[in-house]
Chain A
Amino acid sequence: MTQDREPTVIAKTVTRTVVPIIAVTAVALLIQGHNLPGGGFIAGVLTATAFVLMYVIYGIDTVRRDLVTRSEGYGLLSGPTESYERTFAAGLALAFGSGVAAMLFEVPFLTQAVVFLEGVPLYGTLEYASALAFDLGVYFVVVGSLLTILAVVGKE
C-alpha cells in the first residue's frame, strides 16, 4: 500500500491480469443491465474497484502516469481517467441531458423509449432502450465520484 511495503510479484501479476477482466465485466454489466442483473451503478462501482486494485498495488503515481498522462489524446477512452471531477460532471450532464432530450419529443422529462433496430449486421434485430444513455450517465457519475473521493482521501 505504501512505499515501505513493496507488493509481491504475485500480487502485481494477478492484478495485471485481473484488472482488464474486471473492466470488461463492468462494461458487460452496464450493457446487459436492462435484461440481466447489472446496470450503471454496479458497473460503476466495479470499475472503481478495478482502479482501486491498481492503486493499492501500484500506487497512485503509477496509476496517474500510466492511465492519465500517457493516454491523453486517445479520444474518448482517456476521458474517464483524465480528470475524475470532469467525469462525474459529464455523467450528470449526460443523465440530465437524456431527460431533457425526451422533452424535445414533447413527452415529460425523463420519459424513456425502446427502439427496435432491424437489419443490423451480425445481430439481425437489436433492441435499444434510450434508458442506456441515462444508465451511462449513472455509470460515469459513480466512477467519477468514487475515484475522486478515493484520490482525495488516498492522498491524505
Chain B
Amino acid sequence: MQPDAGVLVAALALPFVAALLVPALFRVLGQRVAFFAALVAAASFGLLATQYGAEGAVQLPWIPSLGVTLTLYVDGLALLIGFLASGVGVLVFTYSYGYMAHEHGHVKYYATLLAFMGSMLGVAFAADLLALFVFWELTSVTSFLLIGHHQREAASQYAARKSMLITVAGGLFMLAGFLVLAFASGDTAAGRTFVLIGTENSLIANGDAVREALRASSLFVPALALVAVGAVTKSAQAPFHVWLPNAMEAPTPVSAFLHSATMVKAGVYLVGRFRPLFVPDLPAIPEWTLLLATLGLVSMTITAILAVGATDIKELLAYSTASHLGLIIAGYGLAGSEALELGAETGAFHIFNHAVFKATLFLVAGIIAHEAHTRKISELGGLRKDLPIVAGITGIAALGMAGVPPFNGFWSKELLFETTYYVAKAQGGWFWLYPAIAVFGSVFTFLYSLKFLSLFFGDRPDALADVDVHRPPLSMLAPPALLAAIAIVAGVVPQVAIDAIVQSAFEASVPVGVEAHSLKLSIPKLFSFTPYLGMSLLTIALGGVAYPFYDRLHAGVRRARAVDYTSPNWYYDGLTEGANGVSRRLAIAVHGGAFRTYAAPFMLGTSVLALAGYAAAGAVTVEGVGAVPPVPLVLVLGVAVVGAMAVARAPSHIAGVLTLSILGFMVAIVYILAHAPDLALTQLVIETLVLVIFLLVLDKLPAYYGEIRSRARTVADAALASLVGFTVFATVIVATSAQPDGPIFEFFLARAGVPAEHGPIFGDYGGGSNVVNVILVDFRAFDTLGEISVVAMAALSVLTLIGMRARTDVGGDDPEVTEPGGRGPEESPVTDGGATDVDTTEGGEAR
C-alpha cells in the first residue's frame, strides 16, 4: 500500500500547529490544555494508524529551485517510532495534567513538548537526509528547552546546556557524514542524492554502488563513524552517556517521554535505518559490527554498572536507559554470519519493549517522587502498602527490564544472546567476548531492576516514617497502568507485538536483497533448552547470587566513580571550564569596548582584501583616469576637498560635524550634476537629519578634541585613513569601469513607464515616470522590503539595547567612558574624528 502524502503531512504538522495554539488555548482552558495536547497526540496517532501497513515514499516540493524535495518514507520502523512518539505522547500529556498541577510555565511546557513530538515524528518519517537533519536538531533544541524547564535553577541550566552541547555537536558530525554520503552517491549511476530511502535513486536502493564508491575513495569508515557519532551522542552511549543522568532535572513526564520513547530513540532509530546501507549481505563481519556492536555492548555494561551506583531513582532509570539503548545498538550492530536478520530483530523488538517498560517506570518514579516527596533510593521502601496498584505495575515493568521470563524484556534480550552466540560460534576467537559481555552486563541490569522493585517491599525507612503517602490521581495512574497492560501482553504472548509492528520494523533494517523470514516467539520455546536460554538462566542465577551484596557493589561503584580520570563527566567539565577561560581572554582581547579596537582591524582588513582582490583580478585600469571633468564638477569637488581638510583640522566636535556636512552637501550637488535628483534629494534630507542628530549628541560631549599623545599613533592613523581612502577611490574606478554586455537599465527604462496602449489594469509595466522609484517599489520591491526590515530591526535594537542599559546601570554614564579604568586617554575614541562619536555611543550601548 502506498502512503498518503496528505495524511502524513497532517500528522507531522498537527503538533507544530497545536504548539502555536497553546498560548491562546491556555487562557481559555487553563491546565486542561494538557488534554488538548493529548488529543493532538491522539490525532497524530490516529492519522499514522491509517498508514498502518503502508510502505513507500511520498515526495513534496520544498525548495524547487534547488531541486530539494521533502521526502517522507513510511515503513515498519518509521511507524514503530511514530507510534511510540505519538502513543506515549498521549499518555505523557494525560499524566502531565496531574503531575504539572502545581508547577509553573505550563504554556512553555506544553508548547515545547508538542513541538518536540512533532520533531520526533519528523525524524521518524523524513527520508531526505537534510530534512532528517533539520528535525534531528529540532529535537535537540526542544529537548534543551524541556530539560531546562526550571530555568532559574543552576542544575537545570547545567543539564540543559550539557545535553544540548553533546547532542547538537553530535548532530553536526552526523551532518558531515550525510554530506560524505551525498558526495559518494555522486559517483554512482543514480546520481547525487540526499534521499536515503524510498525512491529508485535513493542511497539504500543503490547500497552496493554507494558502498563501492565510498570504498574507492576510502571514505567508508569515516562516513560510518560520522553517522555513528550522531547516533551514539543522541542515544547517550559511552562515553557520551554523561548527559542523560543530568537530563533527569527535567519534570518527570518529560523524562518519561524523552528518555523512554523518543529523543534517545532517535539515535537507535538512525542505526536501524542506516543498517541496510552500511551492512552488505556477506558472511564476514563488517566494520559496522566491529564499531557498533562493540560500542553498544560496552556501553550497555558500563551504564548498567553505573545504574547500580545510582542513589536517585531517576538517575537509576537514566543509566538503565543508556544501558538498554546499548543493547539495541548492539543488536542492530551485530551483522554478518546468521546475524543479518537476528540483529535487526533484536533491535526492533527491544525498541518496542524498552519504550513500554521504561515509560512505565519513569511514570512510576514520578508518582513516587510526587507522593513520597523524595527520590533518594535509601529513603524509600515498603511503598507496597500505600501504593498497591503502582506496586503491581512496577513489578510487571521491572521484571521486564530485568529480563525475567515471561516478561516482555526477556524476549528481546534473549534475541541478543542468540545473536551474539551465533556470531561468536561462526567467527570464534575474540568474538566469544560478545556473549560474555552481554551476560556480564545483563547481570547488572537484573540487579538494578530488582533494586527498583524493592522500593515497594520491606519496611519503610525512618525518613519515610511520617510522610503521608497519597494515592496518585487517576490521570497519573491510568497511563502507567495502560503501558503495563501492553507490557504484559507483549511478554506473555510476544507474537501479538511481533505481528502488530515488530516484524515490519525489523524488515526495514535487513540489507536489501535479503528475504526476511518471519519471527516466531511463544512461551513453549522456554521449554526447549538452547545455549542462549542457558545464558539467560546464568544471568538470573548470577544476579540472584549477587543481589544480597547489592549495597557493597553500590558502594564500590560510587568509589570508582569518584576517581576523576575514570569519569567522562570529569573530562566534560574540564573541557567546558577550560573553554571558559580561553573565551574570556579572547573576549577581552577582541571586545575591549573602544571603538578603534573594532574599527581599525576591520577597515584595514577590508581595504587589504579589496585591494588584493583588485590586483589579483587585474581589475584596476588607468584608462580614462586622466579625463578632465567638467568645470562645475571640479568646483564642487574642490569645495568638498577643502571641507575634508577642514574636518581633519577642526578644533571642536561642533566645527568638525559642520565641516563634515559640507562634504555631504557637496556630494548631493554631484548627484544633481549627474542628473540623479532622487539621490540628491535623499542625500540632502539625510545629511540634514544626521547633522541635527550629531548636534544633539554632541551637546553631551566635551566641546574639544582629545590630544593624541604619540606621534606613532598619528602616523598609523593617517596611513590607515589614506589606505581606506585609496580603497574607496579604487572601488569607484573599478565599479564604474564595468561594461556589462546587456545593460539592465534598458529593461527598466522600457518597462517603468505607462505603455502606449493599455487597458484599465495592467501588471507588467511600472506605470510611473520616475524610474528610480518604480525600481524601488515594483521591480525590486523585495529588496526594499528587506531594507525596511533592517531599518525596523535597527530601531528595535536601539530600543532594546538602550532600554536594557537604562535598567541595568541607573544614571547612564558618559558614553565616552568605554571601559571603567581600562584604557588610557590616547585610546579614547575621540581621536577617531567627529563621525565616529555617534558610533562610539552605540558601541557603548551595545555592552
Q: Give A49 to B685 CA distance when docked, in angstroms.
A: 8
**For this complex, into which size category does the number of interface residues on chain B fall?**
35 or more
In addition to A38-B770, A95-B784, 18 A-B residue pairs with Cβ atoms within 8 Å of each other are A33-B768, A33-B777, A35-B768, A35-B769, A38-B681, A85-B796, A89-B792, A99-B785, A110-B782, A110-B785, A113-B763, A114-B761, A114-B767, A117-B760, A131-B774, A131-B781, A141-B792, A152-B799
Task: Please name the residue on chain A nearest to B683 by beta carbon.
Answer: A42
Cβ of B798: which chain A residues have Cβ within 8 Å of it? 148-149, 152-153
Write the chain A residue with the least CB distance to B686.
A45
Contacting residues of chain B (749-806) with chain A, CB-CB under 8 angstroms: 754, 758, 760-763, 765-770, 772-774, 776-778, 781-782, 784-785, 788-789, 791-792, 794-796, 798-799, 802-803
From the candidates A34, A42, A145, A152, name the one contacting B767 in the complex (CB within 8 A): A34
Chain B residues near A95: list those with CB within 8 A: 784-785, 788
Q: Indicate if the CB atoms of A145 and B773 lie closer than 8 Å.
A: no
B residues at A contact (CB < 8 Å): 677-678, 681-682, 685-686, 688-689, 692-693, 695-697, 699-700, 754, 758, 760-763, 765-770, 772-774, 776-778, 781-782, 784-785, 788-789, 791-792, 794-796, 798-799, 802-803, 812, 815, 841
Q: Report whether B685 and A42 are in contact in the complex, using a CB–CB cutoff of 8 Å.
A: yes
The answer, among A89, A135, A146, for a CB contact under 8 Å with B777, is A135
Chain B residues lying within 8 Å of A88, measured Cβ to Cβ, are: 791-792, 795
- Pairwise interchain contact A40-B777, C-beta atoms closer than 8 A: yes
Q: Please, how many angstroms separate the alpha-carbon atoms of A84 and B799 in the complex?
A: 11
CB distance from B835 to the nearest CB of A (A): 16
List, sorted by A's number, 16 A–B pairs whose CB atoms are closer than 8 Å. A38-B770, A39-B772, A40-B777, A45-B685, A95-B784, A109-B782, A110-B781, A110-B785, A112-B766, A112-B781, A116-B758, A118-B760, A131-B766, A148-B799, A152-B799, A156-B812
CA of A118 to CA of B686, assembled, Å: 38
Instruction: Report chain A residues within 8 Å CB of B685.
Output: 42, 45-46, 49
**What is the size category of the interface that chain A forms with chain B?**
35 or more
B773 touches A39 (CB 8 A): yes
Query: Is the beta-carbon distance between B692 and A49 smaller than 8 angstroms?
Result: yes
Contacts known (A88-B795, A148-B795); A52 close to B788, Cβ less than 8 A = no
Q: Is A1 an interface residue (CB 8 A)?
A: yes
Interface flags for A1-25 (1: CB within 8 Å of B; 0: not) read 1100000000000000000000000
Chain A 56-114 interface residues, beta-carbon cutoff 8 Å to B? 56, 84-85, 88-89, 91-92, 95-96, 99, 107, 109-114
The docked-state distance in angstroms from the alpha carbon of A97 to that of B168 is: 37
In the bound complex, residues from chain B placing their C-beta under 8 Å from that of A99 are 781, 785
Q: Is the CB of B770 within 8 A of A34?
A: yes
Are B770 and A142 in contact (CB-based, < 8 A)?
Answer: no
> How many angstroms between the C-alpha atoms of A99 and B794 in the bound complex?
22
A39 touches B795 (CB 8 A): no
When distances are taken between beta carbons in the complex, the residues of chain A under 8 Å from B697 are 153
Q: Are A141 and B681 in contact (CB under 8 A)?
A: no
Complex: chain B residue closest to A45, CB-CB: B685
A7 to chain B, nearest CB (A): 13
A45 touching B696 by the CB < 8 A rule?
Answer: no
Task: Among A1, A39, A153, point to the contact of B678 (Cβ < 8 A).
Answer: A39
List B contacts of A46 (CB < 8 A): 685
Chain A, residue nearest B800 (CB): A152
Q: Is the CB of A49 within 8 A of B773?
A: no
Q: Which residues of A contact B681 (CB under 8 A)?
A: 29, 37-38, 42
What is the minimal beta-carbon distance from B122 to any residue of chain A, in angstroms?
Answer: 26
Note all chain B residues with C-beta closer than 8 A to A40. 777
B686 and A34 within 8 A (CB)? no
B795's closest neighbor in chain A, by CB?
A145
Nearest-CB distance from B456 to chain A (Å)? 58
Which partner residue on chain B sits nearest A34 by CB separation? Answer: B768
CB neighbours of B677 from chain A (8 A): 37
Majority SS at the chain A contact face:
helix
Partner of A150, one of B693, B769, B812: B693
In the complex, which residues of chain B have a beta carbon less than 8 angstroms from the beta carbon of A138? 777, 784, 788
Interface string of A118-156 (1 = CB under 8 A from B): 100000000101010011011001101110111011101
How far does the Cβ of A156 sit from chain B's closest Cβ, in whole Å? 6
**Complex-state Cα separation, A129 to B779, whole angstroms:** 13
Chain A min CB distance to B657 (Å):
14
Q: Complex: how many Å from CA A117 to CA B761?
A: 9
How far in angstroms is the closest Cβ of chain A from B481?
50
Bound Cα distance A34, B753 (Å) = 10
Provide the residues of chain A in CB contact with B769, threshold 8 Å: 34-36
A63 and B766 alpha carbons, distance in the complex (Å): 39
Is B777 a contact of A35 with CB atoms below 8 Å?
A: no
Contact A114 B754 (CB under 8 A): yes
Q: Say whether B802 contacts A156, CB under 8 Å.
A: yes
Q: Which residue of B lies closest to A89 (CB)?
A: B792
Measured CB to CB, the closest approach of chain B to A145, in angstroms, equals 4
Q: How far is the CA of A131 from the CA of B778 in the complex (A)?
A: 6
Q: Which residues from A are CB-within-8-Å of B695? A: 1
**A96 to B678, Cβ gap below 8 A?**
no
Q: Would B688 and A131 count as touching, CB distance under 8 A?
A: no
Measured in the bound complex, the distance between the Cα atoms of B776 and A26 in whole Å is 18
In the complex, the answer to whether B777 meets A49 with C-beta atoms within 8 Å is no
Q: How far is the CA of A112 from the CA of B778 in the complex (A)?
A: 6
- In the assembly, what is the distance between CA of A92 and CA of B688, in Å? 25
Q: Does A27 contact B (CB under 8 A)?
A: no
Bound CA span A152–B812, Å: 13
Given A45-B685, A52-B693: A156 in contact with B700 (beta carbons within 8 A):
yes
Q: Are A91 and B788 in contact (CB under 8 A)?
A: yes
Chain B's nearest CB lies how many Å from the CB of A39? 4
Whether B777 pairs with A134 at a CB distance below 8 angstroms is yes
Chain A residues with CB under 8 Å of B761's CB are 113-116
The listed residue (B678, B699, B789) touching A92 by CB distance below 8 A is B789
Residues of B within 8 A of A145 (CB): 791-792, 794-795
List residues of chain B with CB within 8 A of the CB of A41: 682, 776
The reply to whether A112 and B777 form a contact with Cβ atoms under 8 Å apart is yes
Query: B770 → chain A, closest Cβ, in Å?
Result: 5
* CA A137 to CA B678, docked complex, whole Å: 19
A49 to B688, Cβ gap below 8 A? yes
Most chain B CB neighbours (cut-off 10 Å) among A114, A142, A153: A114
Q: Could you say which residues of chain A place their CB within 8 Å of the CB of B799? A: 85, 148, 152
CA distance A105 to B96 in the complex (A): 46
A156 to B688, CA, bound (A): 21
Which residues of the other chain, A, contact B773 by a CB distance below 8 angstroms?
Answer: 33-34, 38-39, 135
Given A88-B795, A153-B697, A114 and B781 contact (CB-CB distance below 8 Å): no
Partner of A56 from the list B696, B758, B791 (CB cut-off 8 Å) is B696
Partner of B794, one of A33, A116, A149: A149
Q: Choose among B681, B773, B789, B802 the residue with the greatest number of A CB atoms under 10 Å from its CB.
A: B773
What CA separation (Å) do A2 and B700 show in the bound complex?
10
Cross-chain contact B770 with A35 (CB below 8 angstroms): yes
Q: Are A141 and B770 in contact, CB atoms less than 8 angstroms apart?
A: no
Q: How distant is the Cα of A89 from the Cα of B793 in the complex, in angstroms? A: 10
